[in-house]
Amino acid sequence: MRINRLFCGCLSLSCLSSPLYAALIEDSKASLYMKNLYFDRDIKDQHQLPTRPDLDHWSQSFTLNLNSGYTDTPVQVGLDATARYAIRLSSGKNIVDNVMPYDSKHQQQARDHLKLGAALKLKYQKTELKIGELVPKLPIIHTDAVMQLPTTFLGALLESTDIQNTKITAGRITKVSGRNEEDYAKLRLINGSTQAPSDGMNFLGVDYDFKDQQLRYFYAQLEDIYDQHFLGYEYRHRFNQLTQLKSNLYFFDTRDSGQRLEGKIDSQAFASMNTLSYGPQSFGLGYKHMQGDTQFPLLAGWVPQVYLANWSVGTYSAQDQRSWQLRYDYDFKNTAFKGLKTTLRYYYGDNIKTLDAHEGVEKELDVILNYEFQHARLKGLALNWLYADYKHSLARDYVENRVAATYSYNF
């Protein structure tokens, strides 16, 4: 099998035929993910800001994931490898479109985009350590995969579920490669005053589940820039077979630390998302309150903070900002349109701090359609569309469309 031969070459193990290493190959898995993306942002400049061309982009990507099994040794060993490639199909405008790499020195946008990655896996009982390329989805650091290729990181991540109902997470991340970058760079803040690099982020987290509830605590230290504490609580209740409620509460406390390379940081964020589901429908209500002497620190490299609840095309994370979200979802699984899911979201944020008042307003209307083909011959094929009408009293307004056709195949 080609996959097995590829793993043999990657691992270069002379004793691969030994029974100790047989599962490494026999349990290997591979998948191919393809994405054809069209992205368009029509900028409505109503604030007399410097002119900027509209953004439009069309590209195709291919992602090959190779995941080995584990050796039959006391400490099990494995390897994950990825190859990600994207090519632009539309003509280049030689502008920063946040999808493809851009060479600022030559003011030229790349035609294609390649990311190669690998991670060594070490496993003992229910504890696993990954070293190398990481794609974390944690409250304190998260990947971004909404465009073409995802944001990836370099570092080490340990996860353990040896304790009943408890998950322990720990790690260190040293570099980031944004969704529109091939190379890796040190971590820094996109909204920092000095853009100072940090040597890395150290973090530790604990998840504890009991009955229909979950508690989460994470601590992150962005060396010489900030210390961040995250506390999360989730409550789930099923009223009957059709009706259930899920409520999430999030709290962030971030303050400068170490050499304070970005100066003073003092930000607290309170967020809540509550969803009531009834059959194929769900109704959501979200609220977020930002406070503190500074704005919420955001990592550069397209690192989203989805645990701030109100986070979409807009971030709703300005200093002192208050924001609300109304959401409605419908799943057509019990109709002739099985495979279709729709989402309607509205965000409104105000009280944004300006130079002499709290007058800033940010709002957004999103319409999302997702369709997964149900026919056996089309299994793995899906269509996605996001329409966003975004308005900001202190920045540019725009209308954005993202249309994607994706295909997944497991070997």
pLDDT in tens, the chain (411 residues): 444 444 444 444 444 556 667 777 888 999 999 999 999 999 886 655 556 667 889 999 999 999 999 999 999 999 999 999 999 998 877 778 888 898 888 788 889 999 999 999 999 999 999 999 999 999 999 999 999 999 999 999 999 999 999 999 999 999 999 999 999 999 999 998 899 999 999 999 999 999 999 999 999 999 999 999 999 999 999 999 999 999 999 999 999 999 999 999 999 999 999 999 999 999 999 999 999 999 999 999 999 999 999 999 999 999 999 999 999 999 999 999 999 999 999 999 999 988 777 788 999 999 999 999 999 999 999 999 999 999 998 888 999 999 999 999 999
> 378 lies in a domain?
yes
> 6 lies in a domain?
no
Place of tokens 């490898």: 81
Give the list of residues 6+ apart from residue 231 with CB closer than 8 angstroms, or none. Answer: 216, 217, 250, 251
> 14 lies in a domain?
no
The gap between the terminal CA atoms of the chain, to the nearest Å, is: 10
> 8 lies in a domain?
no
Of the CA atoms within 13 Å of residue 393, those in its CB half-sphere come to 15
Residue 374: which of 411, 336, 402, 404 has the closest Cα?
336
pLDDT at 11 (0 to 100): 47
Distance, in Å, from the CA atom of 56 to the CA atom of 68, rounded to the nearest integer, reads 38
Distance, in Å, from the CA atom of 159 to the CA atom of 153, rounded to the nearest integer, reads 16
Give the list of residues 6+ apart from residue 346 with CB closer than 8 angstroms, or none. Answer: 325, 326, 327, 363, 364, 365, 366
Tokens found for residue 206: 């604990």
Give the list of residues 6+ apart from residue 342 with CB closer than 8 angstroms, or none. Answer: 329, 330, 332, 367, 368, 369, 370
Domain count, the chain: 1
Which CATH number does the domain housing residue 80 bear?
2.40.160.10
pTM to 2 decimal places: 0.90
Place of tokens 């294609």: 112
Sign of the alpha-carbon torsion through 188, 190, 191, 194: positive
pLDDT at 359 (0 to 100): 83
pLDDT at 1 (0 to 100): 44
pLDDT at 13 (0 to 100): 44
Name beta bridge partners: 278: 243, 281
Expressed as residue numbers, the domain containing 257 is 26-410
> 316 lies in a domain?
yes
> 21 lies in a domain?
no
> 5 lies in a domain?
no
